[in-house]
Amino acid sequence: MTAAAVTLCFLLRTADSGEQVLLGLKKTGFGTGKVVGIGGHVEAGETTGQAICREVAEETGIAVLEADLIPAGVVDFVFPARPEWDMNTVVYLCRTFAGVEQESDEIAPRWYGVGQLPEAQMWADAVRWLPAFLAGDRAHWRIVMNPDNETVAASTRTLK
C-alpha cells in the first residue's frame, strides 16, 4: 500500500509574548480531539504547495500564497498496525498570510507560544519533529508508531 500524500503548514507570527504558531483542535476525522498542524491530503493534480494553500483556507479562513511557503522538510508516518494510515507528509512554515483565523467544521484554530506547545494534547510523535522544524531544522523524519497507533516505536532524522 502506498502512503497517502499529505501536507502541513505551521503559520508563525511574532506577538508581544514572543513567537507563536497556529495549531488547531481537530473536530472531525483522523486525529479527532488532538491538537494538530493545519493541513490535509494532496488531491489529484495538486502540488503540495497548492494543496496546503487550499487546506489552510478551508480549515482556518486564512489566505496563504504558495510563494510565501517555507519548505521545512518531510515526515513519513508509518503505522505498522494500520498501514492504510501511512502518510508521506511535506511540511511548510509560513510567516506571510492574510486574514484572521476562524473556526471551521474540521478545526478550532488557536495560537500557541512556540515554547509552550500543548504536547499532552498532540500526537506523541509531534514533540520529536515539530520543535526542530520551528527552530529552523530542515530534515526528513521517519516516525514508526507502536501497535497502539498512539505512541512512537522509533524515529529517525536525516538532514536535508
pLDDT, tens digit, 9 for 90 and up, residues 31-76: 899 999 999 999 999 999 999 999 999 999 999 999 999 999 999 9
Enumerate domains of the chain plus CATH numbers: 4-159 (3.90.79.10)
In the prediction, which pLDDT does 14 show? 96
In the prediction, which pLDDT does 159 show? 82
Confidence of residue 29 (pLDDT cuts 50, 70, 90): confident
Average pLDDT, the chain: 95
The residue whose grid cell reads 514533540 is 127
Task: Report d(CA 155, CA 129) in Å as an integer.
Answer: 9
For the whole model, what pTM was predicted? 0.94
Q: Are 104 and 60 in contact (CB under 8 A)?
A: yes
Residue-wise pLDDT for 101-137, tens only, equals 999 999 999 999 999 999 999 999 999 999 999 999 9
Q: Are 150 and 156 in contact (CB under 8 A)?
A: no
Task: Report d(CA 99, CA 135) in Å as an integer.
Answer: 25
